[in-house]
Structure 1
Amino acid sequence: MKRNSLLSLLNSYQPEPGMEEEMWQDTIHFVNENPDCFERSLLKGHITASGWVLSADKSAVLLMHHSKLDKWFQPGGHCDGDPAVEDVARKEVWEETGVEDLQLLKPGIYDVDVHLIPERKEIPAHYHYDIRFVFAAGNDQSITMNAESKDVKWIPLTEVENFHDSESIMRMVRKVSAL
């Protein structure tokens, strides 16, 4: 079954108690109930993957200013049928930032988040069940932007809250100290 590798990752993950734990449980339920959970065509929601990319010295994170949502986020995106969520996260980081040299800092999942994507044009509001991985970028890599972003830059961890102070983002900032 296509979902087994993700279910195995989710079952071996230990979320933070509280909100993340609830989203983790919701994600496990969603994956178990929806064989097509990796498909964007599943209109109620789908699995996405993203990368929390730290500088080599772990003092900064690579964020992009998302064009459509007009907010700063970590790079990530749709799985489009691919159940290899870590590979999807790597691909999305490369496509959205140009950064290719990535070292996985923590085996398995770094964070799980469920968030509502607002209705847009002919696409109804739906949920993204985001599976997040943490990477360190190699030194001296060029950053590039694509059409999905207004800007991409390294932001010192101490300044992230000035760009996006949601619990979802700040939870990942807090987790850096455990790496």
Structure 2
Amino acid sequence: MPEMQMRVSDEDRERATGQLQRAFAEGRLTRPELEDRLELALTSKTYGDLLGLITDLPAEAPPADDVVELESKSGHVRRSGDWAVPRRLRVSSKYGSAELDLSQAVIPHPVVDLELDLTYGSAKIIVPEGAVVNVDAFHTEWGQTSVSDVPGRRRPGTLYVVVSGRAKYGGLRVRYPRRRWFTH
């Protein structure tokens, strides 16, 4: 995936080293494992390099100031095309639905946390080919959750989207982009 070959910043390296140090403090890594991974994290060049060091650890909580909120009382919330996806996105709508197409978006993070708060609307999420989506923390009272052929278990080197929240009278659909067939 192109996102995994994108070059990381010093801030990305610092975030990964913080996650490794927390894992060591929690007893998840031994001192030699920590030292090896810290050395690799500090010399990582791409997101794929960094993700390989932290994939087997619990995801870090994004900083509170790295949250984007999209709200609507009665309209629909839609994002598609070339848009920047934040690490954490909250979408809320009382009477409208949400449609988030990530398939052509710029996603520089290996993990995206998406929180939905929909009362009477539904949500549709389209993810790039190969992405993984975990919907275990999403609940609906009167609708259904439908995930079409998109795996839910985190895999190294792939975009991992975690969907949480609720839809009281609506549901959630997650899928890859539709394939277009061209005829000559």
Normalised TM-score (structure 2): 0.27
Normalised TM-score (structure 1): 0.28
Higher RCO, 1 vs 2 (CA within 8 Å, ≥6 residues apart): 1
Q: Which has the higher helix share?
A: 1
